[in-house]
Structure 1
Amino acid sequence: MGEVFAGRYELLEPIAEGGMGAVWQVHDRREGDIKAAKLLRQRDASSLLRFIREQATRIHHPHVVTPLGWAGEDDNVLFTMPLLRGGSVAMLVGDYGALSEQWVAAILDQTLSGLEAVHAAGVVHRDVKPGNLLLEVTGAGVPHVRLSDFGVAVPSDQPRLTEANVMIGTPGYMAPDQGFDPDPRDDLYATAVTGLHLLTGTRPPHDAAYVPRTQLGQLLLRAVGEDRAARPQSAAEFRELLARAVPARPWEPGEAEVLDQYAAGRTSPPPPPPPLTPRETPEKTALRRTKQHDDRPVWPIVVLMLAGILLLAGGVFLLS
């Protein structure tokens, strides 16, 4: 038997580990099912606040991963989410290489659909990339992705978690003109870079010479172009442009099912095509710093947010 957290969640096996904590597959002894859980074993106030903010970002949408509940024990905190066994889109591209335009359009449209809900809730994700798009097995025979990892997402009406004049994101996916204040258009830029990653099978930066000269390829290049005004200004506008670039058509027999089967682990992917320009750029969320700092204490904010979330959660928190 594995370690049991807060008397309820049995830690079965690790799924992934990052700077803010580890993601585990857990058995919920109360409900009797298997979930994914992010576990933070740190005493750093800023990391704890980001962790709590992710739990608080409860956006209910078919293409967004929504936290289910959370628990605390000693100096540790854990929150659960649905277990999506299909892996990430980054893993898919790593196995398949470049995806067809039909797949790319479907994945981007679902991502943008999720971002519409995220932005409507006044939140900027700030870290859209293939590794944060999770594949869900639906059995419907069509691709289905969910946007995950809201650890660095920023509601516009909540306190800044980083030092002043610090930008957060993954190198290569951040707009070169990205400002210090969160802007939903930065998520759209990262989505377009993600589309180029899927379409070419290579990580950023992307050379326009290697991008297919199709309507989709040209749309994505414009969406990451230097002229900010020429880029899509909203997720809804981006979806409309995407629909024109890749008109909807019925899936060919087996065309979509293979992705659902891959997500379910029922089939092995075909050998990937030779890469166009292999990149070794790490896709880790990073800070882009300047010399100015914000030295405001964080613990008072943590206490206030904990109190607010406890009132909203109403019994979800488990007292050990």
Structure 2
Amino acid sequence: MGSVWRAWDERARRHVALKVLGQHSSALLARFVREQAVRVRHPHVVAPHGWAAEDDLVVLAMELVPGGSVADLLREHGPLDAGTAGLLCEQLLMGLSAVHAAGLVHRDVKPANLLLEATGTGPPHLRLGDFGLAAPIADRRFTTVPGAIGTDGYMAPEQARGAPPEPTQDLYAVGRVVLEMITGLPPSRQRAPDHEALPSHPLRPLVERLLVPDPEQRLATADAALRLLRRLPVPAAAGPPVPDRLGPPPRGRRTSWAGAAAPVDWPAWVAVVALLGVVAGCLWVLLGWTP
């Protein structure tokens, strides 16, 4: 959609993530309208909390999540242990439960949209982001037929056929994500049938119930998936650390609302103030001013 900047929010007095739209077509502006309308507040969801526009510049402000994404974790470390995959899946389902309770379907659940807090060697903390394709449940106005709305490989079969938005479509995507976390393979490289990739794996029963092609036979809600997950013998998470990928903001710099860093040259300001003081003192003597 464009670029994302770390910016300083003057009103909230904190750093935020600012998504700046690139050259925007009507389709891109439609995504912007959808995303800025999402106001889900949940520990495992990161949604916009403000927006601004000036001429052709359009921006969305949201919480800053500095640990990268699950896609980064998989690219750098390969398959995740069962405990870490199970914990991330649990947090994703908790976030989706809140999204669905708000009457929305995300429609683009994939590793790149699963952001991570920078927890270091502690347990990972997932935040579901990017609501540019979100739509009200079963709202046909947000459906294009023929045509698919989502990301290839993660879309449920009925979603790829242009069916109206339903929560079960997000749950199918969760199954794809879990399978990718466990195998390290994207959907295009996963074997079929899918469950053959997980012989005797603790998360296999959940994956099987999520990747059912028929939405009527699939797990119906995120809460139902959570109940099943919590009954499985999943070990404790022992996954890789999640570092702060951004680091501290540059010292001696402030960030404008549009995300452009503006330098603050403190030595120069000190010199200017000192010079003004000298000039004032000279005028005081030359003009014979007295206190």
For the 8 Å contact 2:17–2:61, the answer to whether it is kept is: yes
The answer as to 2:219 corresponding to 1:232 is yes
Query: 1:221 is paired with a residue of what secondary structure?
Result: helix
CA 219–65 in structure 1, closer or farther in 2 if over 3 Å, else same = same
Residue 198 (structure 2) aligns with? 211
CA 215–47 in structure 1, closer or farther in 2 if over 3 Å, else same = same
Aligned partners of 1:156 and 1:150: how far apart in 2? 14
Match of 2:96 among 107, 115, 122: 115
Over the matched positions of the two proteins, sequence identity in percent amounts to 45
Residue identity in the other structure for 1:239: L
Residue 39 (structure 1) aligns with? 20
Note the C-alpha offset of 1:116.
0.4
Aligned partners of 1:70 and 1:104: how far apart in 2? 34
Residue identity in the other structure for 1:186: Q
For the 8 Å contact 1:41–1:75, the answer to whether it is kept is: no
For the 8 Å contact 1:123–1:156, the answer to whether it is kept is: yes
For the 8 Å contact 2:133–2:149, the answer to whether it is kept is: yes
Note the C-alpha offset of 1:243.
1.2
Question: Scaled by the length of structure 1, what TM-score is found?
Answer: 0.68
The answer as to 2:171 corresponding to 1:184 is no
The answer as to 2:186 corresponding to 1:199 is no
**Rg: which structure is higher?**
2
* 1:77-92 equivalences in 2 (<5 Å): 77-92=58-73
Residue 246 (structure 1) aligns with? 233
Query: 1:149 is paired with a residue of what secondary structure?
Result: coil
Aligned partners of 1:168 and 1:122: how far apart in 2? 18
The answer as to 2:87 corresponding to 1:106 is yes
Aligned partners of 1:76 and 1:45: how far apart in 2? 15
* 1:123-162 equivalences in 2 (<5 Å): 123-138=104-119, 141-156=122-137, 160-161=141-142
Aligned partners of 1:181 and 1:231: how far apart in 2? 16
Query: 2:187 is paired with a residue of what secondary structure?
Result: coil
User: Quick check: which one's helix share is greater?
Assistant: 2
The answer as to 2:247 corresponding to 1:264 is no
For the 8 Å contact 2:82–2:202, the answer to whether it is kept is: no
Query: 1:230 is paired with a residue of what secondary structure?
Result: coil
For the 8 Å contact 1:102–1:246, the answer to whether it is kept is: no
Residue identity in the other structure for 1:198: M
Question: Scaled by the length of structure 2, what TM-score is found?
Answer: 0.75
Aligned partners of 1:133 and 1:123: how far apart in 2? 17
Give the count of matched residue pairs. Answer: 241
For the 8 Å contact 2:44–2:95, the answer to whether it is kept is: yes
CA 229–164 in structure 1, closer or farther in 2 if over 3 Å, else same = closer
Aligned partners of 2:138 and 2:168: how far apart in 1? 17
Aligned partners of 2:82 and 2:63: how far apart in 1? 29
Tell me, which stretches of 5 or more residues in structure 1 are unaligned? 1-19, 267-320
RMSD: 2.5
